[in-house]
Amino acid sequence: NIWMGFLLYGANISNKIDGWLKADNSAIEDLKQRVADYRASITEVPTTTKMFVLLAFAFGGVALSHWGADVLSPLMGKFKETLNNLRLNSLMSHFFWLIVISTTIGLSLSLTKAKKLEGIGASRWGSIFIYILVATIGMKMNLGEVFKNLGLFAVGITWMLVHVILLLVVAKLIKAPFFFVAVGSQANVGGAASAPVVASAFSPSLAPVGVLMAVLGYALGTYGAIICATLMQLVST
């Protein structure tokens, strides 16, 4: 939240920061126009039929993900000894397959005509459900446990410092506009729940870009996390 505050403040002085980064923000102006033109070309009045189609894709994808996880996790359990030896025991997890399958379904649909459902506000509905998901996770939290693990604050601060320094150094080297730094950072740290807020601080028309960058982060994070977990297991042995 502290870092997000800096990003929102930075959005108000983005021209100065772009000057320090020696970035050409003409790409941002072009992006604003392209986003506005695209939204205007696909926006339509949502009909009952199309809303049901959207819900069918959403809940159908969830159902298919659960079914696939129900099938694959027991199947992988038959190779428990081999997977444990290879340190791939996560393949036996129901939740693992649920996330991988749902992510794959979402990415696959984005390559089909289903992406036109954005015209009736698919990403807005997605954002609503993300807020519900975040609230659900938050309700399961036990704040009392925080004081028993204060060392985790140091881990979090170190993690964020590395994240911020790395972003600024790379942005300086490639002369990236601050918009991409800010929204890209929040997309990774806060996800689709807060990235659009940072994007809209630059321009309301850029809010969908924040959603898209966050979704891309989710997609890469799903597969990237599998690779990272495997690498860390190899290093720990």
Render each residue's pLDDT in the chain as its tens digit; 237 residues. 678 888 888 888 888 998 898 888 787 878 788 877 877 888 888 899 999 999 999 999 999 999 999 999 999 888 888 877 777 777 788 888 888 898 889 889 988 988 888 888 887 888 788 778 778 877 877 777 777 777 878 888 898 999 999 999 999 999 989 998 999 888 888 777 788 888 888 887 787 788 778 878 777 777 787 788 778 777 776
Instruction: Give residue 59's pLDDT.
Output: 94
| Structural domain for 158, as ranges | 1-42+144-237
Residue 139 lies in a domain: no
Give the integer Cα–Cα distance in Å for 80 and 193.
Answer: 37
79 and 106 fall within a common domain:
yes
151 and 188 fall within a common domain:
yes
Instruction: Give residue 153's pLDDT.
Output: 80
Give the integer Cα–Cα distance in Å for 97 and 93.
Answer: 7
Instruction: Give residue 91's pLDDT.
Output: 79
38 and 63 fall within a common domain:
no
Give the integer Cα–Cα distance in Å for 224 and 157.
Answer: 22
153 and 236 fall within a common domain:
yes
Instruction: Give residue 34's pLDDT.
Output: 83
175 and 189 fall within a common domain:
yes
Dump strand ranges (E) for the chain: none
216 and 182 fall within a common domain:
yes
Residue 125 lies in a domain: no
Give the integer Cα–Cα distance in Å for 60 and 58.
Answer: 6
150 and 83 fall within a common domain:
no
H or E element that contains 213: helix 207-236
34 and 63 fall within a common domain:
no
Q: What's the domain count of the chain?
A: 2
- Give the Å distances, CA to CA, from 22 to 7, 74, 103, 183: 18, 54, 37, 18
90 and 105 fall within a common domain:
yes
65 and 98 fall within a common domain:
yes
7 and 61 fall within a common domain:
no
Tokens matching residue 236: 């720990």
Q: What is the CA radius of gyration of the chain?
A: 21
75 and 14 fall within a common domain:
no
Residue with tokens 């819900």: 55
Residue 10 lies in a domain: yes
Residue 134 lies in a domain: no
Instruction: Give residue 3's pLDDT.
Output: 85
Tokens matching residue 186: 């929040």
Residue 135 lies in a domain: no
Residue with tokens 């601080």: 201
Give the integer Cα–Cα distance in Å for 51 and 194.
Answer: 25
Instruction: Please choose, from the candidates 197, 158, 203, 159, the residue with its C-alpha nearest in 3D space to the C-alpha of residue 177.
Output: 203
